Amino acid sequence: MNMKNRGNEKKNNRGQITIFIIIAILIIAAGVLIYLFYPKIIPGGESAAKNPQAFMQSCLEEAINQKIDVLSLKGGSISPEHYFVYKGDTIEYLCYTNEYYKTCAMQQPMLKNHIEAEIKNSIKKDVEKCFEDLQSSFEKRGYEVNLKSGETKVELLPKRIVVNFGHELTLTKESSEKYNSIRILLNNNLYELVSIANSILNMEARYGDAETTIYMNYYKDLKVEKYKQTDGTTIYILTDRNNGKKFQFASRSISWPPGYGV
């Protein structure tokens, strides 16, 4: 092997060692960063433990979303009283008449308010449990906790759902921190789906039917399905094409007796 080849080999070896050293440094640096910041970025991690609002967000978000999914498939109520069974789902009548040839009457004229109340009532136990866990979590870390219960308020707003807790929370350790209310936010477009449902229901109540294609022409990300049943019931299914979220409901308006064509 000549001197030139030996020199190249030494250079290659030094280059490989340099690369290995750089990789080792990067791995160590990544490990340090993960150790320092990982608890702060995972749900329920350090940031949630230190921040009451983040704690409640982490504790309640999944439970609230589950309740919303349930009532959305049932027409806005967790346990509908007046419903039509469609493919195994109990779907609430939001507009109904038991007479032939007549238009339906609204069953939930304040649908948005009704859904807000349904969410609030359905998460009551979850809220109580999460505040108990919140108090216990801070007490275990040496805080004196003073918690006064307040009213829970749920609001459907454009592209989001806001839950406000009127609880008063005071945390005391070396100093005191006071929270007069705690609020959590969920990204959800139930407000939009309910608004479209209301529009369809108004057409059902006025004309006895609704033309669904106009909604899909205007809202490009919306799918509206309409299924007529033999007893005169119509099932409407609204679906957001982006996230698959649905809101479905039943209506019975201007029905014909058996043997009559529509």
Comparing 5 with 94, the larger pLDDT belongs to: 94
pLDDT of residue 144: 94
pLDDT digits (tens, 9 = 90+) for 51-95: 999 999 999 999 999 999 999 999 999 999 999 999 999 999 999
Distance CA 149, CA 166 (A): 7
Amino acid in the structure at residue 13 = N
Decide if pLDDT at 35 tops 60. Answer: no
The alpha carbon of residue 42 and the mean position of all alpha carbons in its chain are separated, in whole angstroms, by 19
Q: Which helix (H) or strand (E) holds 171?
A: strand 168-172
| pLDDT, position 174 | 85
Q: Per the confidence metrics, is the pTM higher than 0.75?
A: yes
**Which are the contacts of 249, defined by CB distance < 8 A and separation ≥ 6?**
75, 76, 91, 92, 93, 94, 197, 201, 235, 236
DSSP 22-71: HHHHHHHHHHHHHHHHHHHHSTTSHHHHH-HHHHHHHHHHHHHHHHHHHH
The pLDDT of residue 248: 98
- Examine the pLDDT at 36 and tell me if it is beyond 80: no
